[in-house]
Copies of this chain bind each other. A is one copy, B any other.
Amino acid sequence: MPSERTVERLSLYRHLLSRALTEGAAHVHSHQLAGMAGATAAQVRHDVMSIGYSGTPTQGYEVEKLIESIGEFLDTPLSRNIALMGVGNLGRAILSDFAVRRPTLKIVAAFDVEPDRVNRVIHGCRCHSLEELQQIIWTQQIAIAIIAVPASEAQPIADTLCEAGICGMLNFAPVRLQVPQGVFVDDVNITIALEKVSYFAGRKALDRGRIG
């Protein structure tokens, strides 16, 4: 089993390679891909080797084939249909800005408890009531959910999703969700990310001699 960081990097490589391909690149060297990804060339070679792809030493990797290999490795036979829980400001931002980025990952249904959101189409996605959750998850073969509800509602929503058979969640609520072993959860905690930026930015500012 690869680590979470390896999977993140492979996803990033595919994204960068796809862009390079549209710009006409047929081959890419490990150090070039490393430069784009903010990694080391050794790291790139290790990651690429771990998915069973090998480039030719003189020409580098074939961009199209490497994209294909990463896809074979990353893309599971699991349904790529996603449910969005919560269509407040964050949910709307996710629908409008992120829904269309990957053809293989698609938000097919949204859910909310607010009467003025239910049964409406918001940024191209129909919003349903929670009563319909179980049925829609089964009929639409949804395996993944994005949790964009307030912190106090996140755990009950996660419980309902687990009962409905969801296998993975991307959680934006600032709580640690308790889930059964067979469910994978990743957290996007914007406050923690900001604290990290603040910490390392502070160290960099000290180095510059601006403060301290």
Contacts and interface: CB of A to CB of B under 8 A. Distances in A.
B15 A201 contact: no
Contacts of A7: 195-196, 199-200
A133 interface: no
Determine which residue in A75, A176, A197 has the highest number of CB atoms from chain B within 10 A of its CB, and name it. A197
Contacts of A184: 197, 200-201, 203-204
B89 A174 contact: no
B11 A192 contact: yes
Interface residues of A, number: 69
A36 interface: yes
Given A167-B205, A198-B78, A198-B105, A192 B12 contact: yes
A20 interface: no
A89 B97 contact: yes
Contacts of A105: 191, 194-195, 198
A77 B144 contact: no
Contacts of A189: 12
A190 B100 CA distance: 12
Contacts of A118: none
A92 interface: yes
Contact of A204 (B8, B75, B168, B201): B168
Contacts of A97: 88-90
Nearest to A208: B182
A186 interface: yes
A37 B176 contact: yes
A207 B183 CA distance: 11
B194 A102 contact: yes
Interface of A: 1, 4, 7-8, 11-12, 15-16, 36-38, 74-78, 80, 82, 88-90, 92-94, 96-98, 101-102, 105, 143-144, 146, 165, 167-170, 174, 176, 182-186, 188-208, 210-212
